[in-house]
Structure 1
Amino acid sequence: MTSKIDDPPPYEEALHHPKHGNYPQQTQHGSAFPPPPSYSPSPGMCPGPPGYWGPQPAMWAAPGFSPSGMPTTIPTLSAGVPTSNPGEMEDFLSAQWESTAIRHAFIRKVYLILTAQLAVTFSVVAVFTFVIPVKLFVIKYPGIYYASFVVYFMVYCILVCCKEPRRRFPWNFVLLGVFTLALSYMAGTISSYYDTKAVLIAMGITALVCVAVTIFCFQTKVDFTSCGGLLCIAAVLLMILGIVTAVVLSFQYVPWLHMLYAAIGAIVYTLFLIYNTQLLIGNRELAISPEEYIFGALSLYIDIVQIFLFILQISGAANE
Protein backbone atom coordinates (compact mmCIF):
# COMPACT_ATOMS: atom_id res chain seq x y z
CA MET A 1 0.00 0.00 0.00
CA THR A 2 1.19 3.47 -0.80
CA SER A 3 0.51 6.45 1.35
CA LYS A 4 -1.64 9.34 0.27
CA ILE A 5 1.48 11.49 0.14
CA ASP A 6 2.80 9.42 -2.75
CA ASP A 7 -0.37 9.82 -4.75
CA PRO A 8 -0.12 12.19 -7.78
CA PRO A 9 -1.60 15.67 -7.28
CA PRO A 10 -4.84 16.65 -8.96
CA TYR A 11 -4.69 17.65 -12.64
CA GLU A 12 -5.36 21.37 -12.11
CA GLU A 13 -2.78 21.65 -9.30
CA ALA A 14 -0.11 19.79 -11.26
CA LEU A 15 -0.82 21.99 -14.30
CA HIS A 16 -0.54 25.34 -12.54
CA HIS A 17 1.86 24.48 -9.68
CA PRO A 18 4.16 21.61 -10.60
CA LYS A 19 5.99 20.53 -7.47
CA HIS A 20 7.00 16.99 -8.19
CA GLY A 21 10.28 16.40 -9.96
CA ASN A 22 9.16 13.20 -11.57
CA TYR A 23 6.65 15.12 -13.73
CA PRO A 24 7.79 17.04 -16.81
CA GLN A 25 8.09 20.76 -16.48
CA GLN A 26 5.22 22.52 -18.32
CA THR A 27 6.16 25.40 -20.55
CA GLN A 28 4.27 28.53 -19.72
CA HIS A 29 3.17 30.84 -22.54
CA GLY A 30 1.57 33.57 -20.49
CA SER A 31 -1.71 31.73 -19.98
CA ALA A 32 -2.79 28.43 -18.57
CA PHE A 33 -3.66 25.56 -20.84
CA PRO A 34 -7.37 25.29 -21.52
CA PRO A 35 -9.17 22.65 -19.56
CA PRO A 36 -9.83 19.39 -21.38
CA PRO A 37 -13.07 19.37 -23.36
CA SER A 38 -16.03 17.65 -21.92
CA TYR A 39 -17.17 14.58 -23.81
CA SER A 40 -20.77 13.73 -24.32
CA PRO A 41 -22.20 10.85 -26.28
CA SER A 42 -23.34 11.69 -29.79
CA PRO A 43 -26.59 10.25 -31.21
CA GLY A 44 -24.66 7.56 -33.07
CA MET A 45 -22.67 6.39 -30.02
CA CYS A 46 -23.55 4.29 -27.01
CA PRO A 47 -21.84 4.15 -23.61
CA GLY A 48 -19.26 1.49 -22.90
CA PRO A 49 -16.61 1.24 -20.22
CA PRO A 50 -15.76 4.39 -18.26
CA GLY A 51 -14.01 6.89 -20.50
CA TYR A 52 -14.98 5.09 -23.73
CA TRP A 53 -17.83 5.66 -26.09
CA GLY A 54 -18.18 3.08 -28.83
CA PRO A 55 -20.38 2.85 -31.89
CA GLN A 56 -23.83 1.37 -31.77
CA PRO A 57 -24.12 -2.23 -32.92
CA ALA A 58 -26.13 -1.12 -35.95
CA MET A 59 -23.20 0.96 -37.18
CA TRP A 60 -20.96 -2.08 -37.27
CA ALA A 61 -23.35 -3.93 -39.54
CA ALA A 62 -24.10 -1.06 -41.89
CA PRO A 63 -22.66 -1.66 -45.37
CA GLY A 64 -20.00 0.80 -46.50
CA PHE A 65 -19.10 1.90 -42.97
CA SER A 66 -15.91 1.31 -41.06
CA PRO A 67 -15.82 0.42 -37.35
CA SER A 68 -15.32 4.10 -36.60
CA GLY A 69 -18.81 4.81 -37.90
CA MET A 70 -17.63 6.81 -40.94
CA PRO A 71 -18.29 5.71 -44.54
CA THR A 72 -15.28 4.32 -46.38
CA THR A 73 -16.37 5.62 -49.81
CA ILE A 74 -18.55 8.38 -51.16
CA PRO A 75 -20.76 8.24 -54.27
CA THR A 76 -19.04 9.36 -57.46
CA LEU A 77 -20.26 10.26 -60.92
CA SER A 78 -17.54 8.30 -62.65
CA ALA A 79 -16.15 4.91 -61.81
CA GLY A 80 -12.49 4.55 -61.03
CA VAL A 81 -11.99 8.00 -59.50
CA PRO A 82 -10.29 8.01 -56.08
CA THR A 83 -12.41 9.66 -53.44
CA SER A 84 -9.94 9.84 -50.54
CA ASN A 85 -9.59 13.55 -51.20
CA PRO A 86 -12.80 15.49 -51.91
CA GLY A 87 -10.84 17.96 -54.05
CA GLU A 88 -9.91 15.22 -56.49
CA MET A 89 -13.55 14.72 -57.48
CA GLU A 90 -13.99 18.45 -58.08
CA ASP A 91 -10.83 18.55 -60.19
CA PHE A 92 -11.99 15.53 -62.18
CA LEU A 93 -15.44 16.99 -62.87
CA SER A 94 -13.87 20.33 -63.82
CA ALA A 95 -11.47 18.59 -66.22
CA GLN A 96 -14.34 16.60 -67.73
CA TRP A 97 -16.39 19.75 -68.25
CA GLU A 98 -13.47 21.62 -69.78
CA SER A 99 -12.69 18.69 -72.10
CA THR A 100 -16.30 18.52 -73.26
CA ALA A 101 -16.43 22.28 -73.80
CA ILE A 102 -13.19 22.20 -75.81
CA ARG A 103 -14.48 19.31 -77.95
CA HIS A 104 -17.78 21.11 -78.65
CA ALA A 105 -15.95 24.28 -79.63
CA PHE A 106 -13.70 22.21 -81.89
CA ILE A 107 -16.71 20.60 -83.60
CA ARG A 108 -18.37 23.97 -84.15
CA LYS A 109 -15.19 25.38 -85.65
CA VAL A 110 -14.79 22.41 -88.00
CA TYR A 111 -18.37 22.59 -89.24
CA LEU A 112 -18.15 26.34 -89.78
CA ILE A 113 -15.05 25.85 -91.94
CA LEU A 114 -16.73 22.94 -93.73
CA THR A 115 -19.82 25.04 -94.46
CA ALA A 116 -17.70 27.77 -96.00
CA GLN A 117 -15.81 25.24 -98.13
CA LEU A 118 -18.99 23.59 -99.41
CA ALA A 119 -20.52 26.98 -100.17
CA VAL A 120 -17.52 27.88 -102.33
CA THR A 121 -17.44 24.47 -104.03
CA PHE A 122 -21.10 24.30 -104.96
CA SER A 123 -21.03 27.93 -106.10
CA VAL A 124 -18.23 27.04 -108.52
CA VAL A 125 -20.16 23.92 -109.59
CA ALA A 126 -23.24 26.07 -110.22
CA VAL A 127 -21.18 28.42 -112.41
CA PHE A 128 -19.81 25.54 -114.49
CA THR A 129 -23.28 24.00 -114.75
CA PHE A 130 -25.72 26.89 -115.26
CA VAL A 131 -23.52 29.39 -117.12
CA ILE A 132 -23.67 27.97 -120.63
CA PRO A 133 -20.62 29.84 -122.10
CA VAL A 134 -18.40 28.52 -119.29
CA LYS A 135 -19.77 25.01 -119.73
CA LEU A 136 -19.21 25.02 -123.49
CA PHE A 137 -15.71 26.47 -123.05
CA VAL A 138 -14.66 23.61 -120.76
CA ILE A 139 -16.14 21.03 -123.13
CA LYS A 140 -14.40 22.65 -126.10
CA TYR A 141 -10.99 22.69 -124.41
CA PRO A 142 -10.61 19.40 -122.50
CA GLY A 143 -7.13 20.44 -121.36
CA ILE A 144 -8.83 22.56 -118.68
CA TYR A 145 -10.54 19.42 -117.42
CA TYR A 146 -7.27 17.46 -117.10
CA ALA A 147 -5.42 20.45 -115.64
CA SER A 148 -7.91 20.49 -112.76
CA PHE A 149 -6.75 17.00 -111.71
CA VAL A 150 -3.10 18.07 -111.79
CA VAL A 151 -3.76 21.18 -109.70
CA TYR A 152 -5.79 19.22 -107.17
CA PHE A 153 -3.16 16.49 -106.82
CA MET A 154 -0.30 18.98 -106.40
CA VAL A 155 -2.12 21.03 -103.76
CA TYR A 156 -3.14 17.86 -101.93
CA CYS A 157 0.48 16.63 -101.78
CA ILE A 158 1.68 20.02 -100.52
CA LEU A 159 -1.00 20.07 -97.84
CA VAL A 160 -0.15 16.55 -96.65
CA CYS A 161 3.60 17.16 -96.55
CA CYS A 162 3.51 20.61 -94.94
CA LYS A 163 2.28 19.72 -91.47
CA GLU A 164 3.79 22.68 -89.66
CA PRO A 165 2.43 25.46 -91.93
CA ARG A 166 -1.08 24.07 -91.70
CA ARG A 167 -1.00 24.60 -87.92
CA ARG A 168 0.18 28.21 -88.07
CA PHE A 169 -2.02 31.17 -88.69
CA PRO A 170 -2.48 32.46 -91.38
CA TRP A 171 -0.72 29.77 -93.43
CA ASN A 172 -3.25 27.14 -92.41
CA PHE A 173 -6.12 29.16 -93.86
CA VAL A 174 -4.10 30.04 -96.96
CA LEU A 175 -3.48 26.36 -97.69
CA LEU A 176 -7.09 25.59 -96.87
CA GLY A 177 -8.33 28.22 -99.30
CA VAL A 178 -6.01 27.08 -102.09
CA PHE A 179 -7.05 23.46 -101.64
CA THR A 180 -10.74 24.41 -101.60
CA LEU A 181 -10.39 26.35 -104.84
CA ALA A 182 -8.46 23.48 -106.48
CA LEU A 183 -11.06 20.85 -105.56
CA SER A 184 -13.91 23.22 -106.46
CA TYR A 185 -12.31 23.80 -109.86
CA MET A 186 -12.04 20.05 -110.44
CA ALA A 187 -15.62 19.40 -109.33
CA GLY A 188 -16.85 22.24 -111.55
CA THR A 189 -15.08 20.97 -114.66
CA ILE A 190 -16.45 17.45 -114.08
CA SER A 191 -19.96 18.81 -113.58
CA SER A 192 -19.80 20.70 -116.88
CA TYR A 193 -19.89 17.35 -118.74
CA TYR A 194 -23.24 16.36 -117.17
CA ASP A 195 -26.77 17.63 -117.55
CA THR A 196 -28.15 20.17 -115.14
CA LYS A 197 -30.75 17.66 -113.93
CA ALA A 198 -28.06 15.10 -113.07
CA VAL A 199 -26.08 17.72 -111.13
CA LEU A 200 -29.11 18.79 -109.09
CA ILE A 201 -30.00 15.16 -108.31
CA ALA A 202 -26.42 14.50 -107.18
CA MET A 203 -26.46 17.58 -104.93
CA GLY A 204 -29.74 16.53 -103.31
CA ILE A 205 -28.64 12.94 -102.68
CA THR A 206 -25.29 14.11 -101.30
CA ALA A 207 -27.02 16.45 -98.87
CA LEU A 208 -29.32 13.64 -97.66
CA VAL A 209 -26.37 11.27 -97.22
CA CYS A 210 -24.40 13.83 -95.20
CA VAL A 211 -27.33 14.59 -92.88
CA ALA A 212 -28.07 10.88 -92.38
CA VAL A 213 -24.40 10.08 -91.66
CA THR A 214 -24.09 12.93 -89.16
CA ILE A 215 -27.20 11.85 -87.24
CA PHE A 216 -26.05 8.23 -87.32
CA CYS A 217 -22.60 9.08 -85.96
CA PHE A 218 -23.99 11.12 -83.08
CA GLN A 219 -26.49 8.40 -82.09
CA THR A 220 -24.82 5.06 -82.73
CA LYS A 221 -22.69 3.15 -80.25
CA VAL A 222 -20.77 1.31 -82.98
CA ASP A 223 -17.13 2.38 -83.11
CA PHE A 224 -15.95 2.88 -86.69
CA THR A 225 -12.65 4.46 -85.64
CA SER A 226 -11.24 0.96 -85.05
CA CYS A 227 -11.85 0.06 -88.72
CA GLY A 228 -9.15 2.27 -90.23
CA GLY A 229 -7.24 -0.69 -91.67
CA LEU A 230 -10.30 -2.06 -93.43
CA LEU A 231 -11.04 1.36 -94.92
CA CYS A 232 -7.49 1.63 -96.23
CA ILE A 233 -7.88 -1.76 -97.91
CA ALA A 234 -11.19 -0.64 -99.40
CA ALA A 235 -9.54 2.53 -100.73
CA VAL A 236 -6.76 0.51 -102.39
CA LEU A 237 -9.29 -1.84 -103.98
CA LEU A 238 -11.29 1.15 -105.19
CA MET A 239 -8.18 2.61 -106.82
CA ILE A 240 -7.42 -0.70 -108.54
CA LEU A 241 -11.01 -0.97 -109.74
CA GLY A 242 -10.82 2.58 -111.07
CA ILE A 243 -7.70 1.77 -113.10
CA VAL A 244 -9.35 -1.36 -114.52
CA THR A 245 -12.50 0.59 -115.35
CA ALA A 246 -10.51 3.30 -117.13
CA VAL A 247 -8.64 0.71 -119.21
CA VAL A 248 -11.81 -1.17 -120.14
CA LEU A 249 -13.76 1.95 -120.99
CA SER A 250 -10.96 3.18 -123.25
CA PHE A 251 -11.55 0.21 -125.56
CA GLN A 252 -15.28 -0.42 -125.23
CA TYR A 253 -17.94 1.45 -123.31
CA VAL A 254 -19.57 -0.74 -120.68
CA PRO A 255 -22.26 1.29 -118.85
CA TRP A 256 -22.84 -1.18 -116.05
CA LEU A 257 -19.12 -1.29 -115.18
CA HIS A 258 -18.95 2.48 -114.91
CA MET A 259 -22.04 2.61 -112.69
CA LEU A 260 -20.71 -0.27 -110.57
CA TYR A 261 -17.46 1.56 -109.96
CA ALA A 262 -19.31 4.77 -109.08
CA ALA A 263 -21.62 2.94 -106.67
CA ILE A 264 -18.71 1.23 -104.90
CA GLY A 265 -16.86 4.55 -104.70
CA ALA A 266 -19.88 6.28 -103.16
CA ILE A 267 -20.21 3.51 -100.54
CA VAL A 268 -16.50 3.58 -99.67
CA TYR A 269 -16.42 7.35 -99.21
CA THR A 270 -19.62 7.21 -97.17
CA LEU A 271 -17.80 4.85 -94.80
CA PHE A 272 -14.88 7.27 -94.75
CA LEU A 273 -17.32 10.06 -93.88
CA ILE A 274 -18.62 8.00 -90.93
CA TYR A 275 -15.06 7.27 -89.83
CA ASN A 276 -13.92 10.90 -89.97
CA THR A 277 -17.09 12.16 -88.30
CA GLN A 278 -16.55 9.84 -85.34
CA LEU A 279 -12.92 10.96 -85.14
CA LEU A 280 -14.27 14.48 -84.98
CA ILE A 281 -16.78 13.72 -82.21
CA GLY A 282 -14.08 12.19 -80.04
CA ASN A 283 -16.05 9.75 -77.87
CA ARG A 284 -14.65 6.62 -79.49
CA GLU A 285 -11.36 4.71 -79.42
CA LEU A 286 -9.59 7.28 -81.61
CA ALA A 287 -10.12 11.03 -81.91
CA ILE A 288 -8.69 14.07 -83.65
CA SER A 289 -6.81 16.55 -81.51
CA PRO A 290 -8.68 19.86 -81.04
CA GLU A 291 -5.65 21.60 -82.54
CA GLU A 292 -6.14 19.80 -85.88
CA TYR A 293 -9.34 21.59 -86.91
CA ILE A 294 -7.93 22.19 -90.41
CA PHE A 295 -7.31 18.47 -90.86
CA GLY A 296 -10.78 17.63 -89.54
CA ALA A 297 -12.48 20.05 -91.91
CA LEU A 298 -10.46 18.86 -94.90
CA SER A 299 -11.23 15.20 -94.16
CA LEU A 300 -14.98 15.79 -94.14
CA TYR A 301 -14.77 18.13 -97.11
CA ILE A 302 -12.93 15.62 -99.31
CA ASP A 303 -15.36 12.84 -98.37
CA ILE A 304 -18.42 14.94 -99.19
CA VAL A 305 -17.08 16.17 -102.54
CA GLN A 306 -16.04 12.65 -103.55
CA ILE A 307 -19.49 11.32 -102.64
CA PHE A 308 -21.01 14.06 -104.80
CA LEU A 309 -18.78 13.20 -107.76
CA PHE A 310 -19.53 9.46 -107.58
CA ILE A 311 -23.27 10.05 -107.26
CA LEU A 312 -23.01 12.49 -110.17
CA GLN A 313 -21.55 9.72 -112.31
CA ILE A 314 -24.41 7.41 -111.38
CA SER A 315 -27.12 9.98 -112.01
CA GLY A 316 -25.46 11.13 -115.24
CA ALA A 317 -25.22 7.59 -116.57
CA ALA A 318 -28.85 6.96 -115.61
CA ASN A 319 -30.02 10.07 -117.47
CA GLU A 320 -28.12 9.04 -120.60
Structure 2
Amino acid sequence: MDWNRPPYRKSGDVEEGGSARPLYPMMVERPELRWAFVRKIYGILSIQMLLTIAISSIVVSVKPVSQFFVSSGGGLGLYIFLIFLPFLVMCPLYHYYQQHPINLILLGIFTVSISFVVGLTCAFTEGKVILESVILTAVVVVSLTLYTFWAAKRGHDFSFLAPFLFAAVMILLVFSIIQLFFPLGRISMMIYGGLASLIFCGYIIYDTDNLIKRYAYDEYIWAAVALYLDIINLFLSLLTLFRASDS
Protein backbone atom coordinates (compact mmCIF):
# COMPACT_ATOMS: atom_id res chain seq x y z
CA MET A 1 0.00 0.00 0.00
CA ASP A 2 1.42 3.34 -0.98
CA TRP A 3 0.05 6.86 -1.03
CA ASN A 4 1.12 10.26 -2.31
CA ARG A 5 3.03 12.04 0.37
CA PRO A 6 1.98 15.66 1.14
CA PRO A 7 4.41 18.59 0.97
CA TYR A 8 5.76 20.46 3.97
CA ARG A 9 7.11 23.90 4.70
CA LYS A 10 9.69 25.10 7.17
CA SER A 11 8.27 25.88 10.58
CA GLY A 12 9.98 29.24 10.63
CA ASP A 13 7.64 30.40 7.83
CA VAL A 14 4.74 30.49 10.29
CA GLU A 15 6.11 31.10 13.75
CA GLU A 16 9.17 32.95 14.97
CA GLY A 17 10.04 32.58 18.60
CA GLY A 18 11.67 34.68 21.25
CA SER A 19 15.02 34.48 22.90
CA ALA A 20 14.61 31.04 24.50
CA ARG A 21 17.10 28.36 23.54
CA PRO A 22 15.84 26.19 20.65
CA LEU A 23 14.68 22.69 21.52
CA TYR A 24 16.74 21.25 18.65
CA PRO A 25 19.28 22.71 16.22
CA MET A 26 17.71 24.42 13.18
CA MET A 27 14.68 25.54 15.23
CA VAL A 28 13.82 29.21 15.68
CA GLU A 29 10.70 29.02 17.87
CA ARG A 30 10.47 28.61 21.61
CA PRO A 31 10.64 25.00 22.89
CA GLU A 32 7.15 25.06 24.40
CA LEU A 33 5.63 25.91 21.00
CA ARG A 34 7.29 23.00 19.24
CA TRP A 35 6.52 20.59 22.08
CA ALA A 36 2.85 21.62 21.92
CA PHE A 37 2.86 20.86 18.20
CA VAL A 38 4.56 17.48 18.75
CA ARG A 39 2.05 16.52 21.46
CA LYS A 40 -0.83 17.49 19.17
CA ILE A 41 0.47 15.31 16.35
CA TYR A 42 1.01 12.26 18.53
CA GLY A 43 -2.39 12.78 20.13
CA ILE A 44 -4.07 12.69 16.70
CA LEU A 45 -1.89 9.74 15.67
CA SER A 46 -2.87 7.81 18.81
CA ILE A 47 -6.57 8.29 18.04
CA GLN A 48 -5.97 7.12 14.46
CA MET A 49 -4.20 3.98 15.63
CA LEU A 50 -6.88 3.18 18.23
CA LEU A 51 -9.57 3.60 15.58
CA THR A 52 -7.66 1.34 13.20
CA ILE A 53 -7.21 -1.33 15.88
CA ALA A 54 -10.91 -1.18 16.80
CA ILE A 55 -12.21 -1.42 13.22
CA SER A 56 -9.69 -4.08 12.23
CA SER A 57 -10.61 -6.15 15.30
CA ILE A 58 -14.29 -6.00 14.39
CA VAL A 59 -13.61 -7.04 10.78
CA VAL A 60 -11.40 -9.93 11.91
CA SER A 61 -13.59 -11.20 14.77
CA VAL A 62 -17.00 -10.80 13.10
CA LYS A 63 -16.72 -13.33 10.28
CA PRO A 64 -19.87 -12.25 8.35
CA VAL A 65 -18.21 -8.86 7.74
CA SER A 66 -15.16 -10.29 5.98
CA GLN A 67 -17.25 -12.93 4.18
CA PHE A 68 -19.51 -10.21 2.79
CA PHE A 69 -16.58 -8.47 1.13
CA VAL A 70 -15.30 -11.62 -0.60
CA SER A 71 -18.45 -13.64 -1.30
CA SER A 72 -20.69 -11.10 -3.03
CA GLY A 73 -20.27 -8.86 -6.03
CA GLY A 74 -21.41 -5.83 -4.09
CA GLY A 75 -18.96 -6.59 -1.29
CA LEU A 76 -16.05 -6.88 -3.71
CA GLY A 77 -17.02 -3.59 -5.31
CA LEU A 78 -17.18 -1.96 -1.88
CA TYR A 79 -13.73 -3.36 -1.04
CA ILE A 80 -12.26 -1.87 -4.23
CA PHE A 81 -13.97 1.44 -3.42
CA LEU A 82 -12.44 1.44 0.08
CA ILE A 83 -9.00 0.89 -1.45
CA PHE A 84 -9.35 3.97 -3.67
CA LEU A 85 -11.26 6.10 -1.15
CA PRO A 86 -8.13 7.41 0.65
CA PHE A 87 -6.82 8.74 -2.68
CA LEU A 88 -10.14 10.50 -3.28
CA VAL A 89 -10.18 11.99 0.22
CA MET A 90 -6.65 13.37 -0.17
CA CYS A 91 -7.84 15.96 -2.71
CA PRO A 92 -10.39 17.76 -0.46
CA LEU A 93 -8.11 17.17 2.53
CA TYR A 94 -5.34 19.06 0.74
CA HIS A 95 -7.74 21.96 0.13
CA TYR A 96 -9.37 22.07 3.58
CA TYR A 97 -6.46 20.98 5.81
CA GLN A 98 -6.56 24.32 7.68
CA GLN A 99 -10.35 24.47 8.12
CA HIS A 100 -11.65 22.98 11.37
CA PRO A 101 -13.63 20.71 11.74
CA ILE A 102 -13.78 19.76 8.04
CA ASN A 103 -10.13 18.68 8.12
CA LEU A 104 -10.75 16.33 11.06
CA ILE A 105 -13.87 14.85 9.42
CA LEU A 106 -11.93 14.13 6.22
CA LEU A 107 -9.07 12.71 8.28
CA GLY A 108 -11.58 10.42 10.02
CA ILE A 109 -12.94 9.16 6.69
CA PHE A 110 -9.37 8.63 5.48
CA THR A 111 -8.50 6.62 8.60
CA VAL A 112 -11.68 4.52 8.59
CA SER A 113 -11.25 3.50 4.95
CA ILE A 114 -7.66 2.39 5.52
CA SER A 115 -8.71 0.59 8.71
CA PHE A 116 -11.21 -1.53 6.79
CA VAL A 117 -8.54 -2.49 4.25
CA VAL A 118 -6.13 -3.42 7.05
CA GLY A 119 -8.86 -5.43 8.79
CA LEU A 120 -9.73 -7.36 5.62
CA THR A 121 -6.06 -8.11 5.06
CA CYS A 122 -5.77 -9.47 8.61
CA ALA A 123 -9.05 -11.41 8.34
CA PHE A 124 -7.41 -13.95 6.03
CA THR A 125 -4.14 -14.15 7.93
CA GLU A 126 -3.21 -16.45 10.81
CA GLY A 127 -3.41 -14.92 14.28
CA LYS A 128 0.22 -15.79 15.03
CA VAL A 129 1.41 -13.85 11.98
CA ILE A 130 -0.74 -10.84 12.92
CA LEU A 131 0.58 -10.85 16.49
CA GLU A 132 4.20 -11.07 15.35
CA SER A 133 3.67 -8.17 12.94
CA VAL A 134 1.94 -6.01 15.56
CA ILE A 135 4.63 -6.56 18.18
CA LEU A 136 7.52 -5.94 15.79
CA THR A 137 5.82 -2.85 14.35
CA ALA A 138 5.30 -1.38 17.82
CA VAL A 139 8.90 -2.05 18.85
CA VAL A 140 10.33 -0.61 15.63
CA VAL A 141 8.15 2.53 15.68
CA VAL A 142 8.96 3.35 19.31
CA SER A 143 12.68 2.62 18.83
CA LEU A 144 13.03 4.68 15.64
CA THR A 145 11.03 7.57 17.10
CA LEU A 146 13.22 7.75 20.20
CA TYR A 147 16.36 7.43 18.08
CA THR A 148 15.28 10.26 15.73
CA PHE A 149 14.55 12.62 18.63
CA TRP A 150 17.91 11.72 20.19
CA ALA A 151 19.79 12.19 16.90
CA ALA A 152 18.01 15.44 16.02
CA LYS A 153 18.91 16.90 19.41
CA ARG A 154 22.55 16.29 18.56
CA GLY A 155 22.31 18.10 15.26
CA HIS A 156 21.77 15.19 12.86
CA ASP A 157 19.57 15.89 9.86
CA PHE A 158 17.75 13.23 7.82
CA SER A 159 16.40 15.35 4.96
CA PHE A 160 18.97 13.73 2.65
CA LEU A 161 16.86 10.53 2.75
CA ALA A 162 14.06 12.05 0.63
CA PRO A 163 15.36 11.17 -2.89
CA PHE A 164 16.50 7.70 -1.84
CA LEU A 165 13.16 6.87 -0.21
CA PHE A 166 11.24 8.16 -3.21
CA ALA A 167 13.31 6.03 -5.57
CA ALA A 168 12.84 3.01 -3.30
CA VAL A 169 9.05 3.45 -3.28
CA MET A 170 9.05 3.63 -7.09
CA ILE A 171 10.95 0.34 -7.18
CA LEU A 172 8.41 -1.21 -4.82
CA LEU A 173 5.57 0.03 -7.02
CA VAL A 174 7.09 -1.50 -10.15
CA PHE A 175 7.81 -4.71 -8.25
CA SER A 176 4.16 -4.85 -7.14
CA ILE A 177 2.90 -4.40 -10.70
CA ILE A 178 5.19 -7.17 -11.95
CA GLN A 179 4.08 -9.43 -9.11
CA LEU A 180 0.44 -8.72 -9.97
CA PHE A 181 0.73 -9.87 -13.59
CA PHE A 182 3.62 -12.32 -13.28
CA PRO A 183 3.61 -13.91 -9.80
CA LEU A 184 7.14 -14.76 -8.75
CA GLY A 185 6.33 -16.99 -5.80
CA ARG A 186 6.91 -17.09 -2.05
CA ILE A 187 10.57 -16.05 -2.11
CA SER A 188 9.80 -12.91 -4.09
CA MET A 189 7.08 -11.97 -1.59
CA MET A 190 9.52 -12.40 1.28
CA ILE A 191 12.02 -10.15 -0.51
CA TYR A 192 9.30 -7.60 -1.19
CA GLY A 193 8.13 -7.62 2.43
CA GLY A 194 11.67 -7.29 3.77
CA LEU A 195 12.63 -4.42 1.44
CA ALA A 196 9.35 -2.61 2.05
CA SER A 197 9.82 -2.90 5.81
CA LEU A 198 13.28 -1.30 5.58
CA ILE A 199 11.99 1.48 3.33
CA PHE A 200 9.15 2.42 5.66
CA CYS A 201 11.53 2.33 8.61
CA GLY A 202 13.44 5.01 6.71
CA TYR A 203 10.22 6.95 6.21
CA ILE A 204 9.48 6.87 9.94
CA ILE A 205 12.87 8.48 10.62
CA TYR A 206 12.43 10.98 7.78
CA ASP A 207 8.90 12.07 8.74
CA THR A 208 9.72 12.23 12.44
CA ASP A 209 12.65 14.49 11.57
CA ASN A 210 10.27 16.68 9.55
CA LEU A 211 7.89 16.75 12.53
CA ILE A 212 10.67 18.00 14.78
CA LYS A 213 12.10 20.62 12.43
CA ARG A 214 10.08 21.47 9.35
CA TYR A 215 6.31 21.10 9.59
CA ALA A 216 4.49 24.37 10.22
CA TYR A 217 1.90 24.66 12.97
CA ASP A 218 -1.03 24.63 10.54
CA GLU A 219 0.20 21.39 8.93
CA TYR A 220 -0.67 19.07 11.80
CA ILE A 221 -3.04 17.10 9.55
CA TRP A 222 -0.28 16.35 7.03
CA ALA A 223 2.17 15.42 9.77
CA ALA A 224 -0.33 12.98 11.30
CA VAL A 225 -1.19 11.47 7.89
CA ALA A 226 2.48 10.96 7.03
CA LEU A 227 3.33 9.15 10.28
CA TYR A 228 0.10 7.14 10.20
CA LEU A 229 0.83 5.87 6.69
CA ASP A 230 4.41 5.03 7.67
CA ILE A 231 3.19 2.84 10.53
CA ILE A 232 0.41 1.16 8.53
CA ASN A 233 2.70 0.44 5.60
CA LEU A 234 5.37 -0.95 7.92
CA PHE A 235 2.79 -3.27 9.52
CA LEU A 236 1.49 -4.46 6.13
CA SER A 237 5.04 -5.03 4.89
CA LEU A 238 5.90 -7.15 7.94
CA LEU A 239 2.60 -8.98 7.52
CA THR A 240 3.54 -9.81 3.93
CA LEU A 241 7.00 -11.00 5.02
CA PHE A 242 5.78 -13.22 7.86
CA ARG A 243 2.84 -14.59 5.89
CA ALA A 244 5.11 -15.60 3.00
CA SER A 245 7.70 -17.16 5.32
CA ASP A 246 5.00 -19.05 7.23
CA SER A 247 3.36 -20.55 4.15
Does TM, scored on the shorter chain, surpass 0.5?
A: yes
| Correspondence 1:93 to 2:19 | yes
Deviates more, 1:129-138 or 1:260-269: 129-138
Partner of 1:57: none
- Which amino acid in 2 is paired with 1:93? S
**Number of residues paired by the alignment?**
223
Are 1:305 and 2:236 matched, yes or no?
Answer: no
Per-residue Cα deviation, 1:146-173 (whole angstroms, up to 9, x for no partner):
6434334333343245433121011110
- Of 229, 235, 257, which aligns to 2:169? 235
In the other structure, the counterpart of 1:43 is: none
Residue by residue, what CA displacement relative to the aligned partner does 1:76-102 show, whole Å, maximum 9, x if unpaired? Answer: xxxxxxxxxxxxxxx952485853211
Correspondence list, 1:163-312, <5 A: 163-220=94-151, 221-249=155-183, 254-282=185-213, 287-312=214-239
Residue 240 of structure 1 and its aligned partner are, at CA, apart by 0.7
3-state secondary structure, aligned to 1:167: coil
Q: Partners in 1 of 2:77 and 2:159 — Cα distance?
A: 34
With a CA cutoff of 8 Å and minimum separation of 6, indicate the structure with the bigger relative contact order: 2
Gaps of 5+ in 2: 1-16, 24-28
Matched, 1:105 2:32: no
The two structures, once aligned, show a CA RMSD in angstroms of 2.2
For residues 312 and 96 of structure 1, do their structure 2 counterparts lie closer, same or farther at Cα, with a shift above 3 Å needed? closer
Question: In 2 relative to 1, CA 241–143 (structure 1 residues): closer, same or farther, beyond 3 Å?
Answer: farther
Matched residue SS, 2:218: coil
Structure of higher CA gyration radius: 1
Q: Identity, % of aligned pairs?
A: 26
TM-score under structure 1 length normalisation:
0.64
* Structure 1 segments (4+ residues) deviating >4 Å: 94-98
Shift of 1:142: 7.5
Greater helix content: 2
Q: Is the 8 A contact 1:110 1:296 kept in 2?
A: yes
One-letter amino acid matched to 2:219: E
Q: Would the aligned equivalents of 1:263 and 1:311 in 2 still touch at CA under 8 Å? A: yes
Native 8 Å contact 1:245 1:261 kept in 2:
no
**CA–CA distance in 2 between the matches of 1:122 and 1:188?**
8
Please state how far the C-alpha of 1:217 moved relative to its aligned partner: 0.5
